[in-house]
């Protein structure tokens, strides 16, 4: 009896800590320091990186391919444009949100100029699954972020919508950090090989 009571308390405590951590992460993503709105009212998360010394546009190409292959299933992305000589790439991709049943479609744009590279994630639409019984037939609904999720308003229509949007921003921020770290690693490994 005591053991069951202890396990229940432990479960409640663990759930509270996890919820607190999730809230802090979403609050971090909520800051408008990390994203802006484009002319179509879609949120854009972007960052300009300094290219490491000796980095080439081929290195940028390698990092883009590494980022896409490691973070998306093959059926979840499509390369719309790729030119390794110019260091410019556009990828349309979809990923599952960790705080939601939905996934988000976004466009990744990478552009190299002299000693800098700009990486942008433009969030375009949420993909929401519906399941119908008894045959579990599934239907997918696409929700435009700009109209369905009014990010310029002071309050969101629902808490779950806010969490879905902020989870999408948070994932994009994680991928931006991953891109920068991978680029540095690729260039360093190439330098050591010489």
Higher pLDDT, 191 or 119: 119
52 and 26 co-located in one domain: no
- Mean pLDDT, rounded, for 35-53: 83
52 and 136 co-located in one domain: yes
40 and 133 co-located in one domain: yes
Q: How far apart are CA 26 and CA 170, in angstroms?
A: 7
14 and 44 co-located in one domain: no
**Average pLDDT of the chain, as a whole number:** 75
104 and 24 co-located in one domain: no
Range of the domain at 60: 33-193
168 and 88 co-located in one domain: yes
70 and 155 co-located in one domain: yes
Q: List, for residues 69-123, the tens digit of each pLDDT value.
A: 888 887 888 889 988 888 889 999 988 877 677 888 899 999 988 888 899 999 8
The pLDDT of residue 107: 92
Query: Which structure tokens are listed for 105?
Result: 């479609």
Query: How many structural domains are present in the chain?
Result: 2
Decide: pTM greater than 0.85.
Answer: no
Q: List, for residues 122-166, the tens digit of each pLDDT value.
A: 988 888 876 665 555 667 778 777 666 655 555 555 666 777 777
Q: What are the beta bridge partners of residue 45?
A: 121
């Amino acid at each position: 009896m005591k053991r069951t009571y202890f396990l229940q308390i432990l479960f409640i405590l663990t759930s509270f800590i996890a919820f607190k951590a999730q809230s802090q992460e979403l609050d971090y993503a909520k800051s408008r320091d990390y994203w802006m709105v484009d002319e179509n009212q879609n949120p854009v998360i972007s960052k300009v990186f300094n290219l490491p010394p000796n980095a080439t546009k081929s290195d940028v190409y390698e990092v883009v391919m590494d980022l896409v292959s490691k973070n998306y299933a093959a059926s979840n992305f499509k390369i719309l444009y790729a030119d390794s000589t110019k260091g410019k790439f556009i990828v349309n991709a979809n990923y599952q949100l960790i705080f939601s049943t939905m996934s988000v479609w976004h466009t990744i744009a990478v552009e190299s100029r002299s000693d800098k590279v700009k990486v942008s994630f433009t969030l375009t639409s949420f993909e929401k699954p519906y399941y119908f019984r008894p045959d579990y037939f599934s239907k997918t609904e696409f929700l435009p972020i700009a109209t369905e999720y009014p990010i310029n308003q002071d309050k969101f229509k629902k808490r779950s919508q806010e969490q879905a949007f902020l989870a999408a921003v948070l994932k994009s921020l994680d991928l931006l950090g991953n891109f920068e770290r991978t680029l540095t690693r690729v260039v360093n490994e190439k330098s050591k090989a010489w």
